[in-house]
A and B are shown apart, each in its own frame.
Chain A
């Protein structure tokens, strides 16, 4: 009661009295508002520059000059030829299978993945493969073909559960179709 009295009195009182009562009454305060300003600007800036999609890379297997000299005995090497009208799988010399496009005009990636898994189980020690593309085929299909022969899910249920994929042919070279 006495403090409120003093205050109302100070409002109409002298300058000295007013500053004195202020010092007594007001609690010490942290200046939060400028800090919030800075934080808001920071948050908006970081949100705008953030990239929410993860960019990863596919490494290509480039034949280096010295590996040609030390030629290993001829062994199985998977070659996938991507033509305008479908896939051709060869082992470097002879044709293994031809996969034409499906009826709706799409490449048959399911079948390619199946065949790659089968060939991997026949030749478990082989990691090398080549993808040979015709000139006008879209670049997107190169990535999809590489995905199909690089790894495969253990089963469709595992693919949904996030189980690591089984590796098939991991060293993939890229070239032009003959």
Chain B
């Protein structure tokens, strides 16, 4: 009898999976909600964005990223930083051509509402950032925002 009992117990041993699933469901739900509202300005890899006390949330807009080597518009390489620094022109010509594309709409219809978000590395000289910003305003963008990390 005791031998029989032991064998049946052994057969019915099971992993308690329900609590595990509970925890995972909560995790999945949390992460899904959390990733939903930060994907607007997400590809900041390779760029050390300065910190600030600003609290305004990022909006959907055209994103211009300046790393230490390249200039990107919406993730597409547009120019090399070395070339921009070497040229003495006040505007960045390749950037102007890309920003003039009619497909690239930063929200809103009129030029006053179109918006550019500049993500720049904090070690860059101001001159470079100023050139990029000047190019943005020289084309049809009426608003410029600087992306920062909240402290």
Contact = CB atoms under 8 A, between A and B. Distances in A.
Interface in A21-61: 32-33, 35-36, 39-40, 42-43, 46-47, 49-51, 53-60
Contacts of A110: none
B88 to A, nearest CB: 12
Contacts of B55: 56
B50 A144 contact: yes
How many chain A residues sit at the interface, stated as a range, is 35 or more
Nearest to A57: B145
Contacts of A47: 31
A174 interface: yes
B41 interface: yes
Contacts of A32: 17-18, 21
A46 B24 CA distance: 12
Nearest to B117: A57
A60 B126 contact: no
Point out which of B4, B54, B123, B130 has the most chain A C-beta atoms below 10 A from its C-beta.
B54
B57 interface: yes
Nearest to B123: A138
A4 B20 CA distance: 33
A146 B150 CA distance: 14
Contacts of A42: 28
B124 A174 contact: no
B145 A58 contact: yes
Q: Interface residues of B: mostly helix, strand, loop or mixed?
A: mixed
Contacts of B59: 57
B52 A138 contact: no
A129 B21 CA distance: 55
B24 to A, nearest CB: 4
B122 A46 contact: no
A133 interface: yes
Contacts of B27: 43
Contacts of A35: 21
Contact of B147 (A33, A57, A141, A175): A57
A135 B127 contact: yes
A138 B126 contact: yes
Nearest to B17: A32
Nearest to B37: A54
Interface of A: 4, 32-33, 35-36, 39-40, 42-43, 46-47, 49-51, 53-60, 62, 64, 133-144, 146-147, 150-151, 165, 174-176
Given A4-B4, A137-B126, A143-B51, 10 more contacts: A32-B21, A51-B35, A54-B150, A58-B56, A138-B123, A139-B50, A139-B129, A140-B123, A147-B52, A147-B54
8 contacts: A55-B42, A56-B58, A62-B143, A136-B125, A138-B126, A139-B126, A140-B50, A176-B130
